[in-house]
Chain A
Amino acid sequence: MNLQSIPLEWYLGLSAMLFSLGVVGVLTRRNAIVIFMSIEMMLNAVNLTLVAFSSYLGDSAGQIFVFFVMAVAAAEAAVGLAIVLALFRNKQTVFVDEVNVMKW
């Protein structure tokens, strides 16, 4: 292995760690907005994988995909935060364990 450069596995391992951190955030937090931020963190970990593959394989398709992922994340942010606002208006809470009207 060439010590002068960073192998691709380092980026993949880092993004696996960041993705896992995002999953832990989604599973352990009750605040809907923090859960939402953890989802953004998971999307970013996947973006890092896409850019790493794009740069190591010399193919620009990965960076185009990142562009589309960001557009979808922006759409998700707008709709998700609107749902949180509507939820807060109806229930006066953003804690997901206090919202169980959809649970049978």
Chain B
Amino acid sequence: MNINTIAFIILALGAIATGILTITRRSPVASAMWLITHFFTLSGLYLTLKAQFVAVIQILVYAGAIMVLVVFVIMLLNLGKDSERSATFDIRKAIGIFVVFAFAIMLGSVFITQHSGYSALNESAGKIGTVESIGTVLFKDYIFPFEAISLLLLAAVVGAVILAKRRINP
């Protein structure tokens, strides 16, 4: 057991635990706080994969920008705890959870039985995860998708403003 394996196990258990807490908390603010912790553990997992750029962007974009937006909306709407009605037993809900667990077990058994042959990080993994390497590839080979994504973000901003603005003449 070297330090990488220990770090992976701790971060993986943390990610699963915070994920379960996110989907089970009654209060949406508590859910959001656990989801932020979840994003931090994922950022640590990216660091064990030597992907520094993605790890930093994960905290900046997800924990920093998206979750601030979510918490802002929760507080703007002044949401309290979910009503108790959601705790009632529901046959469709039970079937849904059962199907999801069957799916997870199926997927997990495929990964355990089919060995990919990749048992260690590629030698160049430390080099491709840097900002320099990602920037070079992004602005050379993926320049058109990069420009297209800016158009998508512009469309999203315009759409969000139009959806959320108050109607002047109702």
Contacts and interface: CB of A to CB of B under 8 A. Distances in A.
A99 interface: no
Contacts of A73: 61-62, 66
A7 B54 contact: no
Contacts of B138: 64, 67
Given A36-B70, A77-B66, A1 B157 contact: no
A93 B37 CA distance: 27
Nearest to A4: B2
Interface residues of A, number: 73
B168 to A, nearest CB: 14
Contact of B35 (A3, A37, A83): A37
B159 A55 contact: no
Interface string B5-41: 1001000100110011011000010011001001100
Contacts of A86: 163-164
Contacts of A79: 156, 159-160, 163
Contact of A18 (B15, B61, B76, B163): B15
Interface residues of B, number: 84
Interface of A: 1-14, 16-18, 20-25, 27-31, 33-34, 36-38, 40-41, 44, 47-48, 51-52, 54-61, 63-64, 66-68, 70-79, 81-86, 88-89, 94-95
A7 to B, nearest CB: 5
A14 B107 contact: no
A83 B73 CA distance: 11
A10 B49 contact: no
A77 B134 CA distance: 25
Residue with the highest number of chain B CB atoms closer than 10 Å, among A6, A40, A59, A70: A6
Contacts of B169: none
A44 B20 CA distance: 15
A7 B13 CA distance: 17
Contacts of A68: 145, 149
A5 B119 contact: yes
Contact of B119 (A2, A54, A58): A2
Contacts of B83: 95
Contact of B121 (A9, A38, A55, A63): A55
Interface in B126-153: 128-129, 133-134, 137-138, 142, 145, 149, 152-153
A52 B47 CA distance: 11
Contacts of A60: 128, 133-134, 137
Nearest to B4: A6
